[in-house]
Amino acid sequence: MSTVRYALTQALRLLRATAPGDAPTADELAVGLEAAQQLVLEIHEARGPLLDVDVPPPIWGACVGETAPTSGTICPGENQRLRIQAGYTATVELPNSVSMFGSYDPYDYGFQPGTVWTPQVGSLGAADGVYFRAPADGSRIEIVGTSQGLYFYRADTNAWLPALALTIDGELPFNARLQGPFAAMLAERLADVLADLPQPTPAQKARIAHAREAMFSQTGRRRPPTRGEYL
């Protein structure tokens, strides 16, 4: 289990605010939940921009008098921000797999004429390893506009978990491998909130620094190759 309560308990032990075996008080749970929610949103922001996708997309070449639909279902790809337009009712289905070739190759330099850029799409079907693959661990889908939502993909549980409106016994949206680093970063945030705590020790500072590196580098996550452009 990788819950907010468990991460908060680890954070308080790291700060020596509680002894092993002691449970957080009601006030500590309330403060810890608030701090955990803020930390999740800051990590989301620090992991970089998402691809903005309008829902519904604009109608190119529409006939005079033709209007856009008012409702529909969309299954997005990973790391996308869906902007739900005013007056549109969208049903967002979180993908079980995402397309491997969702757009043109940006390094083709125009050798394939007629290619049109399209956002990566998701699917509720299985990942066949040919056209669709599993979402990458830590991928995000954000929904803004007339509807709001934020979801992180956890590869260890094969599920998209909400990152908004966290509860004390709800699962964190991060892989269980990152529970220790998240708890250390949570301890750093709580150090100035909880009173009568001793100054952080060198070991605590080193652990918090390592936790920040682990949370943002995500060395266990597969990434696409990086190619240089030389024009």
**pLDDT for the residue numbered 160:** 97
pLDDT, position 104: 47
**Neighbouring-strand partners of residue 115:** none
The pLDDT value recorded for residue 231 is: 60
Q: What is the DSSP letter of 171?
A: B
Residue ranges covered by each domain of the chain: 4-47+167-217, 51-59+70-154
Q: What is the pLDDT of residue 29?
A: 93
Rg (CA), the chain: 21
Q: State which residues of the chain have pLDDT below 50.
A: 62, 104, 106
Are 138 and 174 in contact, with CB atoms under 8 Å apart?
yes
The two tokens of residue 99 are 């397309």
Put simply, whether the predicted model's pTM sits higher than 0.85 gets the answer no
